[in-house]
Amino acid sequence: MKVLVTVKEVAAVEDDFEISGTEIESTYLDYDLNEWDDYAVEEGVQLAEAGDDVEVVAVTIGPERSEETIRMALAKGADRAVRVWDDAIEDVELLDVETKAQLLAAVVEDEDPDIVLSGVQANDDSFGATGVALAEELDFQWAAVVNALDTEKVLDEGVASVHRELEGGVEELTDVELPAVLTIQTGINEPRYASLRGIRQAQSKEIAPKSLDDLGLDAGVVESSLDVTAMYEPETESDAEYIEGDAGEQAVALADVLRDKGVVGE
Amino acid sequence: MTVLAVADHRRGDLRDVSFELLTAGRELADAAGTDLHAAVVSGDTESFAEDLNRGGVDHVHAVEHGEEFNHDVYAQAVEALATDLNAEFVLVPNSVNGLDYAPAVATRTGRTYVSDAIDLAYDDALEVTREMYGSKVETTVEVADGPFVVSIRGAEWPAAEGVGDAETSTFDVDIDEDAVGSTVKGFEEVGGGDVDIADANFLVSIGRGIEEEENLELVEALAETTGATLSSSRPIVDNGWLPKNRQVGQSGKQVTPDVYLAIGISGAVQHVAGMKGADTIIAINTDPNAPIYDIADYGIVGDLFDVVPALIEEFGGEPPSV
């Protein structure tokens, strides 16, 4: 069995930052593996550990810089990685969902996995759509926002028996035929930390670069229909009363508020 | 042209965002000089259609097929309706179910997809306002080529009100059952247990700012000293530090205590959805720009590891050393 996990290196923004044009200045960005993808990698590795002969392949769309992040997925147990990049992609400010799905679909068609695990969304652009669009592109089945997966059933019966996390503490129990794309929600498992041994092994694992040409795609595929025309900090709507002073003074004033509201006695 | 707004329902009730969708849809229809069509798929379509006939809606379509949401059925039904109406704009909620079928409809029908809109404008091109980097910034995204599928965030538009004079009709779709590769087996309520945070009148709620599991001792001491109930934002439950029944937010519980003391919680929209109904909201956070202050009545910009021990002492308790 083959499991393919889509991973993305995302930028987190520091508390204080500056915007230049329609981008955040790069000095205020810290790069890391997308939080949702960390759970997807763990779910893939758990499938590999529970089954015989399960290969886990991580796939990313990202520049050379992202190899450091992708290597973390390898250190946690993915067997190898594919990194899609091209000068034509570099020029696009914001890739649209369709483009990402088409790029990843080309890799999936090469790899022919039984199951694709993808984070529900990425912390940067938060489209929350790549996994389902990818499934549709491939004519795979899918399930979005999965927070439980029955590993045994995947391995023994070829069915993804999942819980989908709905709003308000309700979960939907759904069976999905394979091949399928599952979008993985945080909390589905406890992502491991990479061991020193894992980090060492990851150094010798393959990260295969793929250009559009390698994937048999032409540059037209990355033409984005999205154009970011403005980026700004949201206007604060705060009319909070701020409690000033040092921590001791703040605690005294806060205690008064709590007593005044009647939720704490003397 | 036409705007098509597709309602969301679950276990017999239309969800609130369905009516907000109608408001967003009417605004867009006005901007584009076209009609607003609403649609409901599956469930008690007759009563849903009647309820969706609110002010500003021109036509309601009901697709009868099964009871509950199934993404294959929705994708097929919405594809057929959007094609039949030649809908320039398909609007759906950015809900868990929206996430499960809208991207497929967009891909299938060659529509450009933009998700989680918090504002929309149309003047020959579609302009979508959306957040990036977890609410740190807002962006305006211009989408040149229609037609479009757009998902909208809940609670950003007011619900459409009043009774409209929409024509209601049934739309027949031959659902291809062979293409339905997923089966919904049932539902499960999660987060039961010994404590119901929805009953508490004073919640001490903890978020990512607590940093380490060991540090939870500090807020547990505060809750104990003040007689408060302990709740949390999502990351704390994801990490397994508190059980699911303590989670406040969109996927957890909705709470309406007298006082909600948010400690080290930035105030992501999914969290706010679960606690904005509290009478008094107090926030302690190191980041003065955290969105939690937008809804807080009282704000303390400071380090929880300084303020919380001082507060425990103020109420005569003994702060643990963390």
Rounded CA gap, B180 and B183, in Å?
8
From the CB of residue A24, how many other CB atoms can be counted at a distance below 10 Å?
A: 21
Q: How do residues A160-174 score in pLDDT, each as one tens digit?
A: 999 999 998 899 999
Judge whether A245 lies within some domain.
Answer: no
Distance from CA of B118 to the nearest CA of A (A): 12
The percent of residues in chain B predicted with pLDDT above 70, rounded, is 99
Domains B3-179 and B197-314 share a fold: yes
The closest of B271, B274, B261 to B291, measured between CA atoms, is B271
Length of chain B (residues) = 322
B138 pLDDT higher than 70: yes
Q: What's the mean pLDDT when you consider all of chain A?
A: 96
Confirm if A41 and A94 have CB atoms less than 8 A apart: no
Q: What is the pLDDT of residue B191?
A: 67
**Is the distance from CB of B182 to CB of A176 less than 8 angstroms?**
yes
The residue ranges of DSSP E strands in B213-265, in sequence order, are 229-232, 259-263
Q: Is residue A130 part of a domain?
A: yes
Residue of B186, B254, B294 lying closest to A236 (CB–CB) = B294
Which pLDDT value is given to residue B194? 73
- Check whether A41 has a pLDDT greater than 90: yes
The answer to whether residues A111 and A147 touch, using CB atoms and an 8 Å cutoff, is no
Domains of chain B by residue range: 3-179, 197-314
The CATH homologous superfamily of the domain defined by B3-179:
HUPs (3.40.50.620)
Token pair 């089945």 is found at A141
Domain assignment present for A244 = no
Number of compact structural domains in chain A: 1
Q: What is the pLDDT of residue B135?
A: 85
Phi, psi of A220 (to 5 degrees): -60, -25
pLDDT band of residue B34 (cuts 50, 70, 90) is: very high
Between residues 195 and 234 of chain A, which touch chain B (CB distance below 8 Å)? 225-234
In a domain, A198, yes or no: yes
DSSP string for residues in B120-179: EEEESEEEEEEEETTTTEEEEEEE-S--EEEEE-TTSSPPP-S----EEEE------GGG
A257 within a domain of the structure (yes/no): no
Q: What is the mean pLDDT of residues B88-104?
A: 97
- Between A223 and A185, the more confident residue is A185
> What confidence category does residue B1 fall into, taking pLDDT thresholds of 50, 70 and 90?
confident
Q: How far is the C-alpha of B277 from the C-alpha of B255, rounded, in Å?
A: 7
> Is A58 in contact with A205 (CB distance < 8 Å)?
no
CA distance B169 to B180: 25
Tell me the average pLDDT of chain B: 95
Least Cα separation, residue A204 to chain B (angstroms): 31
Taking only the tens place, the pLDDT of each residue in B41-72 is: 999 999 999 999 999 999 999 999 999 999 99
Closest Cα in chain A, distance from residue B89 (Å) = 15
**Average pLDDT of span B190-205:** 86
- Which whole number is the average pLDDT over A43-51? 98
pLDDT at B145 over 90: no
**Residue A249 falls inside a structural domain:** no
Taking each helix axis from N to C end, the angle separating A97-111 and B96-109, rounded to the nearest 10 degrees, works out to 80
pLDDT at residue A266 is higher than 70? no
**Single-letter code of the amino acid located at B306:** D
Contact B131 A186 (CB under 8 A): no
pLDDT (0 to 100) of residue B192: 65
Domain harbouring A178, CATH code: 3.40.50.620
Region B214-241 average pLDDT: 96
Domain assignment of residue A175, given as a range: 2-222
What's the average model confidence in pLDDT over B290-303? Answer: 96
Q: Is residue A89 part of a domain?
A: yes
Could B116 and A22 be called an inter-chain contact, meaning their C-beta atoms sit closer than 8 Å? no
Question: A248 lies in a domain?
Answer: no
Q: Which of B160-174, B182-196, B252-266 has the lowest mean pLDDT?
A: B182-196
Q: Say yes or no for a CB contact (<8 Å) between A240 and B280.
A: no
| Homologous superfamily, domain B197-314 | TPP-binding domain (3.40.50.1220)
CB pair distance less than 8 Å for A167 and B95: yes
Query: What confidence tens digit (pLDDT) does each residue in A105-152 have?
Result: 999 999 999 999 999 999 999 999 999 999 999 999 999 999 999 999
Quote the percentage of chain B above a pLDDT of 90. 91
Write out chain B residues lying below 8 Å of A231, CB-based: 132, 137-140
pLDDT of residue A136: 97
What is the per-residue pLDDT for A238?
A: 85
Dist. CA B254–CA B198, nearest whole Å: 7
